[in-house]
Every structure is written in structure tokens, then in C-alpha cells.
Structure 1
Amino acid sequence: MATAQFRLENAWHPIARDEGGGFVVTLVNLSAETIADFKLAYTSLTRVGDAPACGNAAFLRRNANFHQYAPPAGLSLAPGRSWRFTVEGLLRPARHRTDGAKSAYLTLADGSHHAVEVGDLMLEGRHSEPAPQLLPEGEVREPFSILPWPAKASLTAGDTIPVALHPAAGATLDELRAIDTVLSLFQRLYSVAHVPFALAPVHEGRVLRFARQDGVAPSGYELTFAADAVKLRYGDAAGLQYGLTVLAQLLHGARTKPDTFRFPASGMILDAPRYGWRGCHLDVSRQFYPVADVKRLIDILAWFRMNTFHWHLTDDEAWRLEIKAFPELTTVGVLRGPDEPLLPQLGNGAEPVGGFYTQEQAREVVAHAAALAIEVVPEIDIPGHSTAALAALPDLIDGQEAPDSYRSVQGYPNNALNPAIERTYEFLGKVFDEMVAIFPSKLIHIGGDEVAANTWMASPLARSLMEREGIEGTFGLQSYFMKRIQGMLADRGRSLAGWDEVSHGGGVDPAGTLLMAWQKPEVGLELAKQGYDVVMTPGQAYYLDMVQASEWQEPGASWAGTVPPHHTYTYEAVGEFPEALKPRMRGVQACIWSEHFLNRDYFNHLVFPRLPAVAEAAWTPAEGKDWLRFAAIVRLSPRY
């Protein structure tokens, strides 16, 4: 038949005595032909239970966020007509317009698959509140565009803007290269803006003098402004780059919004970061980001003087890093589609999707980040979140274990690597061998999160291991697994990083281990009490996929509540840490989980201004933060 055209409309409504409420789904046939004997699949973050009550439809199957239904026997859908059905038995209520179907497709009687366009989830039975304004206009008491704001600044505004800053005679090769690095960064981020630097003298420019000095704090810098020159003192390469970046921000702000921002005529900036770990995480498993897009995000991190890129490379949905010993990981383990081993998930439809990074591409990303003083910390998420790996390597499965004996919180059946199968460690050893040759970071993040409480309990091999080693329950098995992994990493000169659940069941040796507190803020303090170094990344403040307002029409996820930009900015991660434990709090990190991120505009809406808000929390002392100043300056930020 000719290419079909279909659209799915969906709505959620409350139901008395059923907290989950119900869906109303309408499929509209916009094609020129009648269809019959078809099946409809959609993906949705709001999932149904095992036996949903359907009206005018038959529920066929669910796998995590994938749902499939069939119309009543004999139903045919003529051009211009619609099929409407209802679904009750949802696992949670919908709260926002993005909680419904995110993608859909039809499978026709001949087995062919056809795309179905999807609109927002509508709200029935209640008022659909429009999205609010999230950022005030802001105001500045000091007319300078710097983000994050420095530790100390005493500046007098000038009446002129240098055409460009250019190095004084005698600048070293390293200093000239640093100018070139920041100049190139600026041109990538603001491709039509006037450049802030030139390597040759410039008419109406201003001389930039350098001084490398002992005593300047690590990653710190000092800027002195005068009518004839700017002087930059620094102690290391990172401080040199950060000082140049601030100068670029000052010039760009003064040129872009001269009624608000100025370039300093005199004064000083004395600056150094508040925390050593100023991170941003990106999940590339749920949605694939091409290399150029990953580099773009790293550029933005550099602009905000962040220094860690946490690259979440594997999950249930896909394994994204080429491992030459196991090519199946990036053939079978990345393909999602109606006829692929991995079913479509959020945002996927009739067309198969894939995507992975070759080792050469991963090295390219690492080099790009290193040139901008950013460390790439890779993550493979184990032992849970391993559906893709297990689909690619079925010999890692205990064949005696019932295939649906446990499910993850996202609804994936039997998705964890089995600690009782020795082949698991052989596999991971080869993976680590290849990773350490790609990533120079001393940390390898191994996930460790969201292993369901009854995982492996139906595995005879796991039961035998528990009896042999005196291990109790799932988390005892997880601790056994993690301790072996920690030893394997140590043998390769690497230390273990993970999510906070790595501490479960006895955890691992805290020495040299870094854990990320994500579930709630109190977890970070508990980890520090146990002796772990901690990065604070609580979902309630720093998860950038969380919705930013409570109104129905505002998009985003909501399991961690509502996270408005003001809260992200003002949240103090170290607030509950006693003085004795504050050294264990290494820093803060934004997390970009990609279930919802189906296009660039959506990414920008959720990530900004909250990513620069986290950057300022990571750099600026608490007493130096100012929400209204931030709101005025952040509007000049680059976008993804």
C-alpha cells in the first residue's frame, strides 16, 4: 500500500479510587486506504501493569516502556475514521503533558510497520495549566557578565570596549596556544559574534599580559584591569584557560547587551573554584548523541568552567561503546526496532535505531575534552541496567533461571549480569582492558544502581554461590560482585566510581572509591559517614530531566518532584555535612538522563538555565551567589 499516514491522540483522566487514573487513546487514519487486522504500539514513561483493563482494545504485551494493543476482532479503520480505546491499571498517575505516548507505530496485517505521529498528552477532568515563566528578567548591581561568578571581584566599569585583547610581546607558546584554545571555543559557541582575542596587535585593542606565578590556587587565576592593559596571573594550565574564558565572557556581554554589561576599566578578580568536581553527566544510551553533539556539550561545560564529563555509555536500551572483543555489543546491543532483539523504547517508532561510538571516536572525544581541561569519566552500568548486553551475549544468562523472575523499576525483566557466572567476570575484564586504553581517567564508573530487591533469587547458580560464600540476599550478591569488580579495576590501575547503591549489602572498600548520591540529599551524608568520597547529584535538585514547574503543560519527568531553576541554583549540597565530613564532599554534578530528550529544543528547555545554575553552585562560594544576577547573565549562555 502507499505510505500510510496516522496520528495518535492521547489523554489522561483521574479515576476515583484508582490513583493511576486512565488513558484514552485515539488512532486517526489519515491515509487513503482502509486498514484492518493491525496492531498499535506506543512507548510511554507512564506504564501499565501486567493486566490492564482495556475498553475496545486487547492488551498484547509490554516491555519496559513499550506497549502493544490490538483492536477488537473485525474492526476496520476507513480513511478519515478513528479508533478510540481506554486503558486503566496504570502504575502511576500522569502529571505532565510528556507523561503519555512519546512515539508510536502500526504493524499491519502484512507485517509491515508504519510510523504514527504523536501529540502531547491531554488532560481530562481537570484544568490543564499552561507552562509558567521560569526565569525572572533579573538585575545586576555590578554590570559585568561572568558565569559562574568569581570568588572575589572588585571592578570599575569602563566606557569603552576593546576591539580585542592581544598578547604582549614575550608571551610563551603555551600562553599563545591557550588563547587559541579559548578563541576557538568562543567561535564554536558564538559563531557570528565578534572574537574576543587576536594573536596580533589590534587597533583599539588592549594588551594582555601574562604571569605564571607560584601561590595562585590550583585552577585559580587573577585578573588586573587597567586602561592600557589587562594582566592575567595563573598557576597552572587550567587557571590560564579559566582566566581567558572569563575575559571572553566579559567582552561578549559588554558587546551583546551594552545597556546592561560593561568591560572593566580597572579593578581585580581573584578567583578559584569552590569544588574540585564540577561535573555533568550525559546518558547516551536512551537516546544516541552523535560525536559532534557530545563535543558541543563539552564545549558548553568548558564555557562554564566545569571540569568533569561523566559519559553514561551503556544501559538497558543500548550499549554504545565499541568493544573489539565483543562486536555483538554494538550490533545486537544497539539496535532497537519492531523486529530487532531490543524492542522500541521511548521515542522509537517503526524505523530501527542504533548508533555507537567507535574506539577512535571515543578517543577523539577524550582529546577534545582534555584540551579544554575536562576529564572524561566513562560509565558502563552494571550489574543492573544490562538488558542490551545480555541480548548481545546470551551466554551470560543462567539458563535455569525463569526468564521473567524479576523486573527492574523501569520494567525490564531479568536485566542484571549474574554474579555467579564466571563468564561475567571474563567478559568485564576484557571490557575494562579496552576501556583503560581509551580513557586515561583514573576512575571508571560502574553504575551499581537500581538492582531490584529480588534479583537473582530464582537463579540456581546464584543460590549456590550464596550458600557457598554465606551471602544473604540480592544486595549481598551485589556487594560480592562489586568487590570483585573493584579488585579488577585496581589490577588495571583504576579506581571505582558508582551510584550510591554500590554501598548496599556491605558495599566495597571506601578507600579510593567515589560514589554519587542521587536518590535524595540525605544519602550523601550517610555515604560520607561510611567513609566514601561523595559527589552530590540529587534528583531533587540536579537531575536536568526533571520537570521545572508543577503545571500540566510544562514538560519533563517528575519522579523526584518539581525542580525549578531557582531551586537548582540556591540548593546547597554541602548544607547538612558537619565540618569533619565536608572534605569527603568532592563536588556537585548535573545529570542529563535522556528518556525525554527527543529533540534539541526539548534538550535546551530542560538543560538551560539549570546546567549553568549547577556550574555556579560548583564554582561560586555560597555567599557570592545572587539569583537575580544569575538570571540576568544566564540569558547570554550558549545553547546546545
Structure 2
Amino acid sequence: MKPADYRLESSWNPGGGPHGAFTFTLFNLSGAALSGFKLVYTSLTRVIDATACANATFLRRNANFHEFEPPAGLTLAAGESWTFTVAGLHRPARHCTDGAKSAYLTLSSGKHVPVAVSDLLLEGRVSEPPPVLLPEGRLDLPFALQPWPAEIDAKPGDSFPVILYPEGASADELSAISTCISLTRRLFESDHSVFNLVTSPQGRALTFNKDASLDAEAYRLTFSADRVTLSYSSSAGRQYGLTSLAQMLNGARVSQGKFRFPVSGTISDHPRYSWRGCHLDVSRQFYPVDDVKRLIDILAWFKFNIFHWHLTDDEAWRLEIKAYPQLTTTGVLRGPDEPLLPQLGNGAEPVDGFYSQDDVRDIVAHASSLHVEVVPEIDIPGHNAATLVALPELTDGQEAPESYHSVQGYPNNALNPAVPLTYEFLEKVFDEMVELFPSSYIHIGGDEVANGSWLASPLARKLMAEEGISGTFGLQSYFLKQVKTMLDKRGRKLAGWNEVAHGGGVAAKDSLLMAWENPQVGIELAEQGYDVVMTPGQAYYLDMVQAEAFQEPGASWAGTVPPAHSYAYEAAGEFPEELKHKLKGVQACIWSEHFLSRGYFNRLVFPRLPAIAEAAWTPKASKDWDRFAAIVTLSPKL
């Protein structure tokens, strides 16, 4: 890799303004003089006062995109640097990832060249290193099970079988073992397989028992010195039983002495919640197909059964829709000279990326083979900056530009409920989605529509007068009711974020809402009759920082979320007994603003993802943080 010709270093001074101030220093390492340039960086800590800079001129901002130019006539000789300060920020920087995430220069020739960026430093006080977040842990029973089962009464053996092999298995049961072999080999490529289809004198026999009295996702394992019996009623329970065997035998192999394999007794297991979900935002950062499939493998390993695929947002529309090819040409292409400007992590080179319909079929089939349901999300009506650039005919041409801004700083980014073409567009999108996704749910977002959206639109004002609608959220409710009708016609149920209930909401029947803003919202939704999935940012958002230290990476709007808190959080919380049937489950959310590398992904997602898996599966009375900490180090990662 070629060394950087330019580097941008930054620090944050808490006392430099109402929300502190950045100090940026650009170093010219190119060996040639630099003049007549502009500097762009992307940052979640946005500038809202264009005048509050020193030794630079603020030119423009689009959400997280910021452009500056140096003082007139400035020339940087090789090895020289230019320093400027930026105050007027919309919030303070709290962590090292709150500074510049990417940067580039636009030269006087118009050429764009990359600039390397460094982590944000803290001025004026000691920057403590991040603390250790996971104790060594303690084991009462030495079994490597993630999540821990509902009931276990098993005795560890002094040795373990080299392999487990089927005896008297049907063709369907052999296929299930083969699927589990493939899953284990993908997750642990260098480890010895835990199953074999051929009898082995060094192994232990595995027999199957079809037991109709068990629930669909339940299983029972019975151990003896010469065999293991797996009882199940459906293919899902059978897979979970095989996965538990794979975990225990693999753990006993790779950590001999710490973990062992049962020689007698039983494990009787079933999930706590029916919805055990994990969400992935692929709009802010694009994940290749193989990465998405590996995440699904990890979900299957931890017995999650829902993959919530967040396919569209302001940054990009990632799902191929054949009726609107512009969505995955214009609507995904970001760059200095493209209609969509660079955002978090984007630099001098244009970036794109989307999932073709063949990609989607491949991913859905992969997930289905592992009993993971793919719930797709197109986020509407807000979070559609990319959509509206790709399809400008969806806008009200009379609406004033920048008449409202989203919380992320995007101007006029919501689909307009008063533009008739909006509904034609969505009808065609849903037609293609139902052919691709067999899930009974389609998630329609419904979150973070800025109060004041559409009020400068003459078409919207006319619709409000005709229909007696009051305000932004009344319009949103009107819009989402039309969307729910579209889904009903196609035999699909509506899922959405908790704001779907705003302004009168949609009918509660066949609607499932996700409580993300805070835990109390979930109870309020249940009181209104909605089925609820709990995914509060304060416990289950995996982009949140895990410690208060400035050097800890991640977001902080929902506070600090250490793994111990994610593990201990109880979704049922204060739910009254009469409402607990409305609580369908829990979900981890992976928002990708901070995930510019695999290293950041793994650091922030693990061990909190397996912690949430245990919250979704294991009874409250059986949870044990020290036991979890002792086992979770075996977790596969992306």
C-alpha cells in the first residue's frame, strides 16, 4: 500500500465553544507544494455555525459531509502543515470516533486525492484507555453452550468423543447433520469437524427420536457413555439440538480441561421468545454478500431466528428493483462529483454497492436452510435522501429546498404523502419484494420523520386541508395507513419502528412495532394493542460505546452500553402481566455509521450479540453473567 501523501490529524477541546471545538491539522507529505485546494471531511459531529471557524472558510455541509478552504494564498511546502479550528458544533464530541471518519482534497485542477485520517485526540484532560469489559468468568458446569439452555441436568465426562456419528438416521436427519457440519466448518475453518456421517470406533453414536409432544423449536438431549439421543418435533428444534452438540464438543476440543462433554444426564431446551432478532444496516456501509451470509451463520450458531435486513436509508438504496434501476445506479453512487456526496467513511474515490435480486435469493435461501427468517426493511417515509436524488419525480417541485432537516442533517429527505407517484412507486417496490422475501413481515421503517416535514409543500398543505389532517405526524399516519393496505393486499404484515404509532398510527392488527427509543415506549405500544419487539438503544444497539472513556469507539446518544448491561437488561421489565403476551421478543441492532472496518465491527458487536442471544433464549432465572463471560470467548466473529 502506498504511503499517504496527506494526513489529517484532529483533536477536540471541550472548552473551545458551546459544544467544544475541533482543531484540525493537514500535513503535506507528498514531496510537492500544495496550494489552491479545498478540504472535505466526513464526521458525525456536525458544524451548524458556518462562522465559527478560524484560519479556514466553511463552504458547505450535506449531513456529515463538510467542505472547507484555507486562507487565500496559502501554500504548503513539502513537510509543512495547516492548522484550523472548527467550533459551532451541534453537540460535543464524547469519544475518539466522533471526529473525522474520512477526508480528501480537491486540488486546483479539480482532481480529488485521498487524505488519511487519525483518531480524534482529547485536549485539556487525561484520555483514559478503555477498561476491560469482560471478566474471566466462572463455570459451575463445564459445557460450552451459547445461549445457555432452559434446563440442564448433565454430568461431564473425563474424555470426549472424537466425533459424533448418526445411527439409524433418516435421509432428512442425515441432511440436517450435513448442514450443521457445513455451518461449523464455515465458522471454525481450522477446527476438526464435530460430526461424521460414517461410523467411527473413536466416536459416539447419535440417534434421533421424533417426539410430537415437544414444541417446534424445542429439543431434548439424552447422554450416555455410548450414545447421545436427540429428541425433536420439527426441523428447527433438531437444528438447535445439533448446534448445541456442536458447541459442546468443539468447546471441549479447543479448551480441553476448561470445557467438557456430557457423559450422562439430559438437556431439555426451548427458547424464551419467539422473535430472536438481529438487524444489520447495509445502507451506511455496504457489506458484501459473503459477509452477510457469515453474519447469518453466526446468528444460527447463537439460535437467533430473525435477520432484519435494513436495505435502504439516506445514504443508499441497496435493493435491486427492476422497475426502478436508478435506485441502484444513482441511488447508491457516492463521490465528490456524483449526485450523492460522500458520507461517513467515503473519500476521493466513488463508492457504490447493492444486492441484485439473485444475491437476495441466495441470501434468503442460505438463511432459510439455517431456520433464520429474513425480514427486509425499506425505510419510509423518512430516511430517503438517496431515493429522492435517484427519483426526483417523487418530490413536490414547489416545496422550498431545505425547508426541514432530519436529525442526521439531511434536507427534505422524506417521501411526500401528497405526491400520487409515491404510491405507484411503492406498489411496484412491494410487488418485487414479496417475490423475493417469503417472510410474513415487511418492515417499513417509519422512524425519525422530522417534525415540520412537508409543511412547506403546497401539495401536502392541499391534502391536509382536504382530509382534515393536522401536522407532520397526521400526514405520516395517513401515508402509513395506505402502506399497510398495500401490504395487506399482498398477504404481508407490517413491521416498523415505534414512531409508526405517531399521529394516530396504523391498525394494530397484523402490525409489529419495535421499541427503540427507550424501554417505556414498548409498554405504551402494547397498551395500544401492538405486538412489540424490544430493541432499546440503551441496551441492544451494538453501535453504542461500551465504556465512558474517550478512547472507546462508538456512538453515545443512548448512553454507555457495556456488555454486562446488554446481558442483564430484561425486556419484560415493567410490562404488566396482562400485556406480556404482546411482547414477542428482542432484537440486537447493528447500525453501521461507525463500522468502517472489520476490527471495529467485531469490537463493538461482540460479546454483546451473544449476550442478547442469551437474553432472547435463556430463562431469566438461568442467566449468569460470570458463566456467560467464561464461555463467550469461544464465539465466532465476522
What is the aligned partner in structure 2 of residue 53 from structure 1? 52
Amino acid at match of 1:139: R
Amino acid at match of 2:290: A
Determine the C-alpha separation between the residues in 1 that align with 2:87 and 2:444: 37
CA RMSD of aligned residues (A): 0.9
What is the aligned partner in structure 2 of residue 20 from structure 1? 19
Deviation track 1:434-482 (CA, whole Å, cap 9, x = no partner) reads 0000000010000000000000010000000000000000000000000
Q: Given the alignment of the two structures, is residue 165 of structure 1 paired with residue 187 of structure 2, yes or no?
A: no
What is the aligned partner in structure 1 of residue 30 from structure 2? 31
Deviation track 1:510-567 (CA, whole Å, cap 9, x = no partner) reads 0010000000111000000000000000000000000000001111110000000000
Is the 8 Å Cα contact of residues 4 and 114 (structure 1) preserved in structure 2? no
What is the aligned partner in structure 2 of residue 10 from structure 1? 10
Amino acid at match of 1:13: N
Q: Secondary structure at the match of 1:48?
A: coil
Shift of 1:279: 0.3
Is the 8 Å Cα contact of residues 49 and 87 (structure 2) preserved in structure 1? no
Determine the C-alpha separation between the residues in 1 that align with 2:118 and 2:612: 32
Determine the C-alpha separation between the residues in 1 that align with 2:88 and 2:65: 15
Is the 8 Å Cα contact of residues 11 and 124 (structure 1) preserved in structure 2? yes
Deviation track 1:117-146 (CA, whole Å, cap 9, x = no partner) reads 001000001111111111011110111110
Q: Secondary structure at the match of 2:561?
A: coil
Amino acid at match of 2:201: H
What is the aligned partner in structure 2 of residue 297 from structure 1? 295
Determine the C-alpha separation between the residues in 1 that align with 2:201 and 2:61: 67
Determine the C-alpha separation between the residues in 1 that align with 2:559 and 2:162: 47
Length-normalised TM-score, structure 2: 0.99
Shift of 1:386: 0.2
Shift of 1:400: 0.4
Matches within 5 A, 1:65-464: 65-169=64-168, 171-464=169-462
Determine the C-alpha separation between the residues in 1 that align with 2:283 and 2:177: 35
Q: Choose which of 558, 561, 569 in structure 2 pairs with 1:560.
A: 558
Amino acid at match of 1:14: P
Shift of 1:3: 9.8
Is the 8 Å Cα contact of residues 163 and 203 (structure 1) preserved in structure 2? no
Determine the C-alpha separation between the residues in 2 that align with 1:33 and 1:549: 43
Matches within 5 A, 1:577-616: 577-616=575-614
Determine the C-alpha separation between the residues in 2 that align with 1:363 and 1:580: 40
Q: Secondary structure at the match of 1:388?
A: helix
Amino acid at match of 1:68: E
Q: Secondary structure at the match of 1:566?
A: helix
Q: Could you tell me the percent identity over the aligned residues?
A: 68
Shift of 1:4: 7.1
Determine the C-alpha separation between the residues in 1 that align with 2:54 and 2:623: 54
Q: Secondary structure at the match of 1:120?
A: coil
Determine the C-alpha separation between the residues in 1 that align with 2:135 and 2:66: 40
Determine the C-alpha separation between the residues in 2 that align with 1:246 and 1:27: 53
Amino acid at match of 1:130: P
Amino acid at match of 2:79: G
Is the 8 Å Cα contact of residues 52 and 90 (structure 1) preserved in structure 2? no
Determine the C-alpha separation between the residues in 2 that align with 1:4 and 1:90: 28
Determine the C-alpha separation between the residues in 2 that align with 1:335 and 1:217: 47
Shift of 1:51: 2.5
Shift of 1:174: 1.1
Determine the C-alpha separation between the residues in 2 that align with 1:120 and 1:92: 18
What is the aligned partner in structure 1 of residue 485 from structure 2? 487
Is the 8 Å Cα contact of residues 52 and 87 (structure 1) preserved in structure 2? no
Determine the C-alpha separation between the residues in 2 that align with 1:401 and 1:314: 24
Determine the C-alpha separation between the residues in 1 that align with 2:249 and 2:4: 53
Q: Given the alignment of the two structures, is residue 540 of structure 1 paired with residue 545 of structure 2, yes or no?
A: no
Number of aligned positions between the proteins: 637
Residue segments in structure 2 that go unaligned for 5+ positions in a row: none
Q: Secondary structure at the match of 2:364?
A: helix
Shift of 1:14: 1.3
Task: Evaluate the alpha carbon distance shift between residue 306 and residue 323 of structure 1 in structure 2; reply closer, same or farther with a 3 A threshold.
Answer: same
Amino acid at match of 1:462: A
Is the 8 Å Cα contact of residues 222 and 228 (structure 2) preserved in structure 1? yes
Is the 8 Å Cα contact of residues 130 and 551 (structure 1) preserved in structure 2? yes
Determine the C-alpha separation between the residues in 2 that align with 1:427 and 1:316: 17
Is the 8 Å Cα contact of residues 216 and 234 (structure 1) preserved in structure 2? yes
Shift of 1:578: 0.8
Shift of 1:218: 2.1
What is the aligned partner in structure 1 of residue 523 from structure 2? 525
Determine the C-alpha separation between the residues in 1 that align with 2:636 and 2:15: 44
Determine the C-alpha separation between the residues in 2 that align with 1:191 and 1:585: 38
Length-normalised TM-score, structure 1: 0.99
Determine the C-alpha separation between the residues in 2 that align with 1:15 and 1:22: 7
Shift of 1:397: 0.6
Amino acid at match of 2:159: T
Amino acid at match of 2:108: A
Is the 8 Å Cα contact of residues 204 and 226 (structure 2) preserved in structure 1? yes
Is the 8 Å Cα contact of residues 60 and 69 (structure 1) preserved in structure 2? yes
Amino acid at match of 1:531: G
Amino acid at match of 2:133: L
